[in-house]
Each structure stands twice: as C-alpha cells, then as structure tokens.
Amino acid sequence: MSEEKGVNSRIIRITLLVLLAVAFVVMAVLFIMDNGALPTVGGAPMHFETTNISIRHDMDSHSQIHTYKDGKGFFLASRDGIRFIGSDGLEKMNSTYNMTAPKLIGKGSTAGVAEAGGLQLYVCSADRLLYTVMTDHPILSFSVAANGYSVVITQNGTEYNIIVYNAQGQINHRGVFVDANVYPMAADVSNDGRILAVSYLDTNGGEMNSKIFFSYINKTEAADFAAAEGVFAADNNHPDGLVGILRFMDGNHLIAVSDRSIVCYEADNRAKRKWDIDLGNTLDAVCFSEPTWFAIAYGDRNPNKPGEEPGLSQFFDLNGTVLGEYQSFGRVSKLAMGYNTALICSGRQFTAAAQNGSVLWTYDATYDVSQALFIENTNRLVLAGGTQTEVLHRVRERSNAAVTEAPNSYHNDTITDAEGE
C-alpha cells in the first residue's frame, strides 16, 4: 500500500510540474507577442489603434521625432522648439527657439537640433536642455553623441571649422581646414567622447577623393599626437567617392557610407579598416538606430556593376555579416530600427522585420508619414505626418461579446503646439 501511495504522489508531483511548465510557456509566449517579438498565431488577429497622444501642428512645421530604447516617450522637434512627450502624454521637457528648417539628430537618449546656415545648436535629454551653443559662423552639419557631446562643421568663406563640445557645452576640441579645394563632408564623435572622425573631399590635382581622419579629443591621449593636433590615423583610400555619412557604433566602431561603399573601422585600434562592402546599387535609405547593427535599403543598380534587387533591405552586424534581409514590393522610402527589429516603409505600408528577416507584422497608414519609429516596444509606433504626430498601439481585434485587449490608460488631453509652449 505504501509503495502504491508513493507512486501516486510522484505522478501528482510530475503532473503539477508539467502544468506549471505549460503555464510558464503560455505566459512567456503572451509576453513576447505583446512586446512585438512574435506575430500572433491563432486567436484574434491584431491591428493598430490610435491612443490619446496626438499632437497637432501646421503643415510647414518641419516636425521630426526621435525615440530610443527604454525611453518612455519621444522627442518632437519643430520650427519653434523641441519637446519630450512622455508615455502618459505629458510634456517632460520643452525648449523653444525659432528655426526655418530645423534638423533633429538623436543618438541614444541625447538629441540635438540645428539648421543648415544657422548659428545655434540645442542639445537635450528627455528631462532637460543640456546646453545651447552659438557659433561664430554658419553651421553646415552637426552630430551628437549618446554621452551629450556634439560636433559642428561651420564655414567662414573658404575656411572650415570642426568644433567639438563636451556634455556641458564647452569647446573641447577645435580644428580648421584652410587648404584650398578641401571640403569637410561629415563628422561624428564616439559615444565615450574620446575620438572625433571627419570625412572630407579633396579635389586637388583635378581628382576627387574622399578622405577620413581620426583625432583624439581626450587631452591625455591627444598629447601623444600634439604635433598633429591629436590626429592619430587617416584613410585616404576612397577614390571617386563621397563619404557623406559617418556613425560611431558600439565599441567605437565607425561606419563610413559613401555612394560607392560601406567601410567599418576599429577606431580604438589605430582606426584600421575592419571590413568594407562594395555597393552595386545606390542607397535609398540607411539607418543606425541600434548600436550593434544597422540597415540599408538598395535603390537603382549602378551601371556595369552586379547589384541587388531594388527595394531589398539588408541588416548587418559590426562584423559585416548579413543578419537577414527583406524584399519590399516597392522602393523603400524610410528605415527605422529598435528592439532588434527593422521598420521598413514603402509608400504608406510599414513592415516590421526581425533581424533574420522574418516578418512580424505590416501596417498600412491612412495618411502620408514623414517618420515612423518604434516607441517602448515593436507593438507601439509614433508617426509624424504633415499635420499631426500621434502614437498608435497594436491590439487584438474586439469580439462582439467582449473586448480582448483594453486601450492603455493615457492622459486624455490632446496636446497641441499652442498648449505645449
């Protein structure tokens, strides 16, 4: 009898463990689906609905947005200021200015706003304005780092200045291009604030060559290269190309994009080339929202070169390995990334594709969208259109008998530009 009871108790324990394991798996799958990592399999289909976060603005407001991983809201920049709108719909930060054509650049939790030909740069975090700088000469381009550093390229006649500001808005480094027929194209600062990279076009001798130099910002490291004003490495091997995009990624890897190639440098290792990709197509879109991988979308094939199918998006890691790809039915107009997922726009259709290229969902917008970004997870989007910026969330279809997923409890007030000032 005791042996029979022992067998029964073991069976009961095993049954309970199996039930607990099944319950755990079910909860895990539901959590993953709610966070956008898997499409819904079976059950009610899902679709996007509006939330109570809607910001109205004029058609010519030049509204732009930036989100970042784990950020509880989004940056919104327009002609009259930059704000951070929280997930509850409330304004967390507001800094006003007056720009005709502002450009918003974000990296991580830092965002900067300036305009071509302007004299001011605003750099902020989600909760405050970090600093404002006033340049002596018009700004040609700028960039920000995740640690609050920034760099601007300004022009004074035939003289170009490269100015790096630290997280307090103080000038940390200044360089000058005074040579004839030399034109800086792009600059970026590493996220640890140690290294500056600058690409420039050299047309001396009747030839067109893009070059890149690397300079230490950190005064201790720069002292070892004082004679060269901190410049510790250069790459002159970009013939007939225009290196118009520089982006520091994780581990101080620098990605340089030209109309002919994509090159990755290990900047911490005397800026040696790690790998390069020869492009057989023009690029319709490039995205570096994530620190460890990036995405490109191919456009027209280059003459006399093997190329990819136009509309193809590919995802690369920092070793140059293709993680996955997605072929759009039309040309790609916009790319965004977040939460190990790419957001690919073709016309008004948006597709969320995982790193390996598998499709999570598609969404057809009802109006023209200038920007679309993930916010908090891949089941939530913030869309910037001509007259509004709004947040959508992906929910299960409601049945006649019950609501399968309730709308989230956002602040009920609609935010307008007038109220936000």
**pLDDT tens per residue across span 355-389:** 999 999 999 999 999 999 999 999 999 999 989 99
**% of the chain beyond a pLDDT of 70:** 84
- Confidence (pLDDT) at 227: 65
Residue identified by tokens 């690397």 is: 214
Answer yes or no: is pLDDT of 299 > 50.
yes
pLDDT (0 to 100) of residue 135: 97
Ranges of H-type helices in 141-274:
219-223
Quote the CA–CA distance of 271 and 255 in Å, as a whole number.
11
What would the CATH number be for the domain defined by 298-378? 2.40.10
Give Rg (Cα) of the chain: 25
Q: Map tokens 């969320």 to a residue.
A: 352
Could you read off the pLDDT of 215-246 as tens digits, one per residue?
A: 999 888 887 787 677 889 999 888 778 999 99
Q: What is the mean pLDDT of residues 187-208?
A: 92
**Hey, what's the torsion of the CAs at 78, 79, 80, 81, to 10 degrees?**
40
Looking at every residue in the chain, the average pLDDT score rounds to 85
- Distance from C-alpha of 72 to C-alpha of 126, rounded to nearest angstrom: 9
For 35-44, 77-86, 145-154, 283-292, which range has the lowest pLDDT when averaged over its residues?
A: 35-44
pLDDT for the residue 40: 41
The candidate with the shortest Cα–Cα distance to 36, out of 44, 48, 24, is 48
- Per-residue model confidence (pLDDT) at position 30: 33
Domain ranges of the chain: 298-378
Question: Which pLDDT tens digit goes with each residue over 55-84?
Answer: 998 888 889 999 999 899 999 999 999 999
Instruction: Work out the burial of residue 367: count CB atoms within 10 Å of its CB; fewer than 13 is exposed, 13-18 middle, 19 or more buried.
Output: exposed
Global pTM reads: 0.83
Structure tokens that stand for 357 in this block = 């290229």
Position 110 pLDDT exceeds 90: yes
Q: Please give the backbone phi and psi of residue 100, each rounded to the nearest 5 degrees, phi first.
A: -80, -45
Instruction: Please indicate whether residue 259 or residue 326 has the higher confidence score (pLDDT).
Output: 326
Give the confidence band of 188 by pLDDT, cuts at 50, 70, 90.
very high
How many other C-beta atoms are found inside a 10 Å radius of the C-beta of residue 209?
17
Do 373 and 336 contact (CB within 8 A), yes or no? yes
Q: How confident is the model at residue 254 (pLDDT cuts 50, 70, 90)?
A: very high
> Is 19 or 371 the better-scoring residue by pLDDT?
371
* Position 12 pLDDT exceeds 60: no
CA distance 319 to 292: 10
Whole-number pLDDT of residue 8: 54
Q: Residue 305 pLDDT more than 60?
A: yes
